[in-house]
Amino acid sequence: MMKTLLRPVLLYWTISLYFSLITPASAEDTLMPSPPEIAADAWVLMSYQSGQVIAGSNQNQAHAPASLVKIMTSYVVGKELKAGHIHGDDKVVISENAWGQKFPGSSKMFLNVGDEVTVDDLNHGVIISSGNDATVALAEHVAGHTAAFIEMMNREAERLGMQRTYFTTPHGLDSDEQATTAYDMALLTRAFIHDLPEMYGLFKEKSFTFNKIKQGNRNPLLWDTSLNADGVKTGYTKEAGYSLVSSASQDGFRLIAVVLGTKDVNARRNESKKLLTWGFRFYQDLAPNFDKNTLKKAKVWYGSPSNVQVELGDGGVITVPRRQRKSLDHKVFYNSNLEAPVAKGQQVGKVEWYLSDSLITVQPILAAEASEKAPWYKSMIDTVWRPIGRWFNDQEWDHRDDKDAPESTQ
């Protein structure tokens, strides 16, 4: 009798113990990390490797850039150095326009008219000391005059996809038409780190001395031992408020944080640190492996070759919550109306990544080789078969707008 009574009790406690053991882990696996509250007019957190925006607020809202403009100034100068159009040991004669006294009450290198200063020193003066006078000196050396240099800045912004950014100065002092966004600044910083890694190393230098005047780097995160920050740039004007573009890495995972329009120097430091710490705590880069049956060659109509090898954009990396890896799912799409010629690097498809049925990112599938237009006698079979393929695919796919329904899937 006693055994009969004990059996249901034992069963109950066994089941309760089982669920008490598995429930915490299951809850942790499904926990979605909410972004922190950030006291800034606009902000964004981006993974450097994948280019994914992890979190943001007003990230595409126009904002006065202040000295963040100097990131683009240094990028243009760095590209000119890399191309060999100018050299680090070039001597730049300081003009009256680049005279330090032209910039009262703002950051400068304290340049004097007639000084001969190397491009290398001016670079340090812009990146570390945030010298407004140094930006004008470099602009005149690179392009002859500042207006031409600003044209170069805006062309680079357009090439990089900074759609809501427009520069009117090389230094960032307030100007009615000059504007940028948190997202655009993250995009520029990502390009800088990738394209100019050696020059990017200057952003972590803590001080620079010129003409016996020592000036410290204004980025406070460089002194924070809890972060491995190595850049990037502070900015302040009355119109812009206090802003900071920062970047740090942990175990090969690099994040870029942008905060625009905080109330003071402490706020821009604290809000940036808050973003980076949260990102490293809850997110990671992941490089999924696809077998040859999942990531197949892309069919090119009338092409030679008629099927091209493919690869994933951004190195095949996606950025995901650390506790959500098992909930990831994906769909692979190809453009079934791809015609020759196809250039290497051209988008030929996409991978959509889902987390619990929510789309989190879209990876481009790129042609890993070119396909030229085939002679007519080699493409006759495509002339026959392509109309049949079109009959089965009645939805046109446009890789420029991922909201459109793709026409084929694997």
Q: How does pLDDT run across 69-103, given as a tens digit for each residue?
A: 999 999 999 999 999 999 999 999 999 999 999 99
pLDDT at 399: 42
| Domain spans, the chain | 42-282, 298-392
Residue found under tokens 């950030």:
38
Q: What is the mean pLDDT of residues 21-37?
A: 58
* Known catalytic membership, residue 67: yes
Q: What are phi and psi of 261, to 5 degrees?
A: 75, 45
Q: Check: CB of residue 210 under 8 Å from CB of residue 107.
A: no
* Known catalytic membership, residue 306: no
Catalytic residue among 67, 107, 272, 306: 67
Mean pLDDT is lowest, of 118-127, 224-233, 278-287, 376-385, for 376-385
pLDDT at 378: 73
pLDDT-derived band at 9, boundaries 50, 70, 90: very low
Q: What is the mean pLDDT of residues 389-402?
A: 46
Higher-scoring residue by pLDDT: 405, 177 = 177
pLDDT at 299: 92
Dihedral of alpha carbons 279, 281, 285, 290, sign = negative
Higher-scoring residue by pLDDT: 322, 206 = 206
* Known catalytic membership, residue 70: yes
| pLDDT exceeds 90 at position 179 | yes
pLDDT-derived band at 395, boundaries 50, 70, 90: very low
- Cα Rg of the chain, angstroms: 27
Catalytic residue among 50, 107, 130, 272: 130
Pair of tokens at residue 191: 């390009």
pLDDT at 290: 85
- Max mean pLDDT range (288-297, 327-336, 373-382): 327-336
Q: Could you tell me the fold of the domain covering 298-392? A: Peptidoglycan synthesis regulatory factor (PBP3), Domain 2 (2.60.410)
pLDDT at 18: 40
Residue found under tokens 């495509």:
382
| pLDDT exceeds 90 at position 14 | no
Give me the chain's average pLDDT, please.
88
| pLDDT exceeds 80 at position 298 | yes
Pair of tokens at residue 210: 């010129």
pLDDT-derived band at 390, boundaries 50, 70, 90: low
Of 180, 231, 160, nearest in space to 61 by CA: 180
Mean pLDDT is lowest, of 26-35, 146-155, 387-396, for 387-396
Catalytic residue among 70, 79, 233, 350: 70
pLDDT at 388: 56
Alpha-carbon distance 164 to 174, whole Å? 17
pLDDT at 120: 98
pLDDT at 404: 37
Q: Check: CB of residue 348 under 8 Å from CB of residue 409.
A: no
Mean pLDDT is lowest, of 6-15, 143-152, 305-314, 399-408, for 399-408
pLDDT-derived band at 294, boundaries 50, 70, 90: confident
Q: Could you tell me the fold of the domain covering 42-282? A: Beta-lactamase (3.40.710)
- Cα dihedral 369, 375, 380, 383, rounded to 10, equals 60
203: amino acid identity, one letter: F
